[in-house]
Chain A
């Protein structure tokens, strides 16, 4: 079948850009679950819902351009992702975020979806060793990147020091934010931040814990960093102090003056 005429795509092609081809067949070697599970059942329900709701959208595109385009939902492209040292080949629409690719397409459910807008940190993963919000990035943009999720943090059956510290300090209650907290803390070990608890609080501020396990999280992070928590004798001190309305200030004092 002839490729539908696509002026935008053609323009992009001519201009030395590598446009993804919407009409390539999806690869057959997607990782699949070995058995039928609650998650796979729900995922299938979810997929059916997507098809049904996407149809009017596809139609709208067709009408607007006056071109006989492929239905929008068929716009999946082959994407290769390197996650936890393993290569995954999947067929994804460009709209699929890295977070949704992990959870809905690769059965890596350890990374959590909280706000889905980069405000809570539950979806934190490492891309090339740096922590990022996987909900605010499209999976198609991460081909060639080295992605690490909570599933890939332990090595040789040995928990990562941050995982071990979270266990020892009870750094969670319900546990939903925990994988994001741990991924954030594991990356923090290699970042240039101050030694005290306030520096840890600032460095962990992108991860929200609705249960309020913050004191134990700070203690766990400090243990993993190999430094002694400075408020260990009275862990609640920080909560009793009035909230500060001045920030950016401590940083400047500590590091620039």
Chain B
């Protein structure tokens, strides 16, 4: 592991200033960063420890909705009463991710920023445009079973690994940050970038910009939500395809629905195509299938990951069945 300087942030402003230094990195739970530092994939020259910052609370907003501090641990968020009762999709997504130990460490802000599990990104012996811009992409002609079918480019097809972010995408969360230029709010849907020609840029954060909290708008009474994760083993594995649905019904008619996918996109994938196909329609198997087809219409399979397209469709259909059938 490369040497680094270590400092503890005592204030938000101090953290932002220290974090804006070139080659600096914030460290929260460390579950992604320490792992990748050991592999020499990430080589920060200085680490700013933000564990001392008071960003570890989950609070209801006066307008309804939830404010989640960036340092709230995944296990605490998953088991929070308000999250379990009102935002089941978020609790389920969190509990389907990683292991109990990792969930005790990993934070809300860090989870949003976790790095891809692409084998070639994680191995410095291979070409990877995300790790080393311009070096090429070993996954395009490599073993790309776990890679993305949506949002990829000739430069990168790595999936975003987060479950939590997929649920937050369906809940229309907003990311709040503090940066050298002051605070700002970013809709989660606009937070992530598709790789295009610059896969090394994964989100819109500027150097030194720190996620302080995430807000989730209130959901109407009677809204149901669910996260379904499909993977190679029953626990402790990343998604091959996952689906998050937040839906409110009027009788058997779908009044309002939000759909997002994990495991298939280069970012947590909101599907407005599926939402358009569903809203105002009856909850029927035919309509679910039509929405699933619409969601995956733009999907581009690689050599080994074509199965993900049908898998994602079935994940969505099953999630819709689960959330629209009478309780």
Chain A residues within CB distance 8 Å of chain B: 6, 8-9, 11-12, 14-20, 22, 57-58, 61, 72, 75, 77, 93-95, 97, 116-118, 121, 124, 130-133, 135-138, 140-141, 184, 187-188, 191-192, 201-203, 205-207, 243-249, 251-252, 255-257
Contacts and interface: CB of A to CB of B under 8 A. Distances in A.
Nearest to A18: B8
Nearest to A116: B38
How big is the B interface, by class? 35 or more
B221 interface: no
Contact of A95 (B4, B10, B104, B236): B4
B17 interface: yes
A11 B242 CA distance: 43
Contacts of B17: 11, 14-15
Contacts of A251: 92, 95-96
B93 A248 contact: yes
Interface of B: 1-11, 13-15, 17-18, 21, 24, 27, 30-31, 34-35, 38-39, 45-49, 51, 75, 79, 84, 88, 91-93, 95-96, 98-102, 104-105, 163, 226-236, 242, 322, 327
A256 B88 contact: yes
B3 A12 contact: no
A118 B31 contact: yes
Given A138-B34, A247-B231, A256-B92, A12 B5 contact: yes
B7 A61 contact: no
A245 B307 CA distance: 14
B8 A136 contact: no
A247 B228 CA distance: 7
In order of increasing CB-CB distance, the 10 nearest A-B pairs are: A206-B99, A248-B96, A205-B235, A94-B6, A16-B14, A15-B17, A19-B7, A256-B88, A15-B14, A12-B7
B21 A247 contact: no
A62 B120 CA distance: 31
A192 B13 contact: no
Contacts of A191: 75, 100
A136 B230 contact: no
A24 to B, nearest CB: 13
